[in-house]
Structure 1
Amino acid sequence: MEDASPFRRLRHGKEKSEGQADSPAAGTTSCGKAGRGPAGGGRQEEGGSARAAGGMIMAQKEDQAKYDSMPRSAIETGMVDFVLPVEKMGEQILHYIRHPYLERQKPAEPEEKVESLLQKVFLLIRNQTGHDFSHYKRNTIRRRIARRLAVHQIEDLEHYLKLLQESAEEVGILAREMLITVTNFFRDAEAWDSLQEHVIRPLVEQGPPEQPLRIWVAGCATGEEAYTAAILFQEQMGKSNVHRALQIFATDLDEESVSVGRRGIYPKSIAADVSPARLQRFFTEEGNSYRIRNNTRETIVFAKHNLVKDAPFSRLDLVCCRNVLIYMDNTLQKKLIPMFHYTLNPGGHLFLGESESIGVFADLFAPVDARHKIFQRKAMETSYEPEAGEAGYHPPAPVARGPLRPLRPSLGAAEIAERVILRDYSLPCVLVDADYNVIYFNGDTSRYLIQPGGRPTFNLIQMARPEIHFKLNLLLKRAFHKNRMTVEKDVQVRVNDHFLDTDIVARPVAEAGVGVGENLMLIVFKSRPKNQKIEGSAPVVAEVPAEEKDAHIRELEQELQSTREYLQTTIEELKTSNEELKSSNEELQSTNEELQSTNEELQTNSNDQTGRKLKTSRAEPGPPISAGPSVRRQRFEPWCFEFWICLGFGAWDLEFLCSLVLGLWNFAPSVPANVNGTRR
């Protein structure tokens, strides 16, 4: 029976993960860049496995740090457990390592009970996020949950389940914990060198120049692996003096990781993995970070994608899916390997992680480099067929970014909102949670919010009128990210034939009674008349005071950057949708061709059968010629009938007379017949 004790303690010393060497001891802390470790959708990094081993990560408060870039970058990853001043870190470490969870080893709970509790945890995650972790390896799942128990100082899984039932935020954190993604540029350099030699160079040099190269990086984490592939392909094109269109689809289950990859900005520490020549050619230096250059960035489309549930890409030359399968059980592995075979072109390649294999599917793939897990697609038929929503679990389509969840009963939503409103505001406003769901309305918000057609929703972004939709979305992202009051000024709102200048204020609600994880934001709309008709003259822009110009410029630059990222995201989503439409169109064309071929085969078979019937009827002998006059009369009568018919319709001509004479000749009485009816 598998050890259930990880739910009560973290082992002192080291603990191994699937397919990896020993990890550092639990309890590791960090005041700089946060380590990121793997689960379901990503990787495990040798040097950044504090969380993977069940450790705790802390970061120094930004306002206390002399140079705040390092703690800020760590906090932005979402992997930090505690943000504390330095003087409180030691106390937190002592609490962590002295907790009974770490010190005592209680008797293991029955495996049946642990599995039952795990299924309830999976259900909570599934209902909130749509992600199903029930087919992930139990050791991985237990280590992730064990770490959360240690962070909350909880002794067993049963009490942690109660916390999950009360805190939607903890459910989200645990789901992200399962998807912790660690990767780096050119990880396993020898494997990438082998891929370039056996796959990339032949693809670039031997394929038709007009045909684009199509690569899918599945489980791309924060994008380093996708950019590594793009760099190697572009380098090979330069060496071979060949220019071909390059399309790389980088997908991951974790939206936050995909967003990092989409931005293409990485810390200067990547210099440890990327050579100076490549940094100069493929990156631009921006302060304390490197940004991937546009010509490389534009070759990649980033998208959130569920390997198990979502339809795959098609007509691919290469699939990179490294260190993803090792966290899945045999059920999912047996589903994904045939899927990769289906997506690849004939002769396409599959690139796996060093601890992964194709298992029982040796009939689908041939090893190219067994050591570095490079395989080539065999020309074999597979039974895999993509289906819409093909996973075992089909959650209902989300109306908003997350389900509408009630607050904990310690203090009602209405009471919280009224307390803040009566104290500070008497304006139209709404109270929203971290998923932008409205949980309380105050005043007349019809100028700013409407209920869209279709399924009812309480998502603030979906309810926002078109003229404020974009800026309201940016405002909420900034406010929740910074956790402080944020203002979007002079947003124009149309009311009948006039505009109103509206300031939208997002103010965090930090009231007594609001539990940990219940991040609430009060959105207040402050409108004032604008003396301008819609069809009037151009608006008069007030001068910005000199002392505010710099701050205003910075704000505009941030807004411009946010707009660019929003447009880039939209473009990539459109590209992904276009790929799916192309794939569906190709499947329809293929089906149409099959139907046409079937129809032609049926037509051919029908013609063949008709021809055979005609031949058979012609080959059958006529009635035997009898010696008696009755038979002669029977064979003669049709000619007579035709003769009189032709006379009746005036069809007397030479051709008919000839045929008539020949017919009469055949029946001439001078030709005797024997008893058997055959002529002598």
Structure 2
Amino acid sequence: MSEAPREQETDEELEDLLGFLRDARGFDFTGYKRSSLGRRIRKRMADVGIDEYADYRDQLETNADEFSALFNTILINVTSIFRDADAWTYLQREVLPELIAGLDPAEEIRVWSAGCSSGEEAYSLAIMFAEALGLAEALTRVKIYGTDVDEEALRDARAGLYPARSLESLAPELRDKYFEQNGSQYSFRSDLRRRVIFGRHDITRDAPISRLDLLVCRNALMYFNVEAQTQIVDRFHFALRETGFLFLGKAEMLLNDADRFDVVSMRQRIFRRRRGSAVTAQYQPPAPKMRTGFGGEMLTMARNRQLRDLILDAAPGAALAVDAEGVVVLINNHARVQFGLTTNDIGRPFQDLEISYRPVELRSLIDQATHERRTLRVNGAERRVGEDLQYFDILVQPLVGGGGLPSVTHISFTDVTVTTQLKSEVKRVREDLETAYEELQSTNEELETTNEELQSSIEELETTNEELQSTNEELETTNEELQSGNEELETMNEEMRIRSEELDETRAFLEGVLTSIAAAVVVLDKDLNVKSWNRGAAELWGLRQDEVLDEPFFRLDFGLPTQQLFAVVEECVKTRKRGNPVEIDAVNRLGRGIGCTVQCSPFDGHRGGGVVLLMEEGGSGDTV
């Protein structure tokens, strides 16, 4: 067989395999570049020792686990927190302020991370907006959608758990602020995690998330051929609001879309949808078709829809239907009343409605039911309305069309609030009897699942109870320590009170003595600063105690020529002996000349020693 026919045969076998993957599991890889796609499939075939596409298809049909291994080989998940730091820095410093300034302060900020892999990109966006807006405002305004076709990667993204090496590029202060250590791993903080919604989405087939302010799709377009890239960019253009920003990867550019996108930074691959640019991709439900009835009478789809709506409204519970493109095609009366929907929501993308992710993440369930072609049931889904809690059993049922493929998904809600509440009370009593260690371990694991799937408020109560028990034990220990410390403090306080009373008595005694002495008494410390200046000194020299206290004695300006005493004082300080009386001519406070007798004595009672000066008018020569 010649080489060319063999290559043609191989290409046909590859296309047959891709068609089988699309029909069997709903993964449509027909838009991917054949060179890279064929290389990855061949790699997986080599890993299991198979050479022919037909043989590998037999392997897929007989081994369901092989699908996961193949998809993991095809869908290369390469990502990290703030990957390509320069691009993220430019986005944060140059683009984010303009994006925020262009919105009303109370307006919601909608962001989509398309091809988010294991979630690092979506969490990077959450950190970036929290830093720009402040955490409190980010928790109320920012909503981030993270989507991917790889369910295994999405499970990792929903868990939000990463090893320390994955966060090495993140500054330590940001890591400590937005991640909590959980054993050997770090988990993204729970309050901000609630603003990130993960779900399965195929950017080549599914309707895009709309009314976006920022769309991030980095290094995903390069895996698709030109036709698929064009369709994806059309969807992105439709999804963005006017002047919304598009952030692509280093290997991607929009060279042929200058009429729809302005270049913000070609180096960092950041673009902005042009104001007034025409929308080329519209996502509306299929137009109704007409059919011919018996006798040639024409019945319109409008009539059929009216009858269908009447039947649906007569159903006992809330119900709605979503077509294969993810567009809402039916909403019955109970659903409109129960969930606040209107007839205007028919024709909108299901992912834009709150019911798509609350009370449970329905989009991934719809994808799973469609791909596995079986009905899925969710029991006891919790929904909070004001102060009240409601519980629903949800049935997700794919309906097969004429071509043998699921064409619409029917979703019904059965209100089981009363039954669920009774079961919840019984379960709470039973679980409260478990051991403390089992409660903590079980609660930590169940809370991680609860934060992702919005389930089981009971587990939160168990965690709170265990934490309170632990805190109570710590408080009891602390209380004993405080009681012991308090007794010691009371003893010390009593001793200090007694000493304070003694000091007060001593101080009062000394002040009384100094006051009763008619002569002028001045006490100097070792630096010859005034430490005491009695009433006799104030009356003799005319200076109050508050004017001279802690001032250098030999710099004071009063009627006594102090420089004549310097040698006497210095000798007294040096020898620590009482000096002889010194007669000095001075001027008293009245301006009258007097003869003053000064006696200098050592004083050892103030931090290393000082002197006491006794000054008397008339030269009496009395000593201290």
Higher alpha-carbon Rg? 2
Higher normalized contact order (CA 8 Å, seq sep 6+, divided by chain length)? 1
Q: Which has the higher strand share?
A: 2
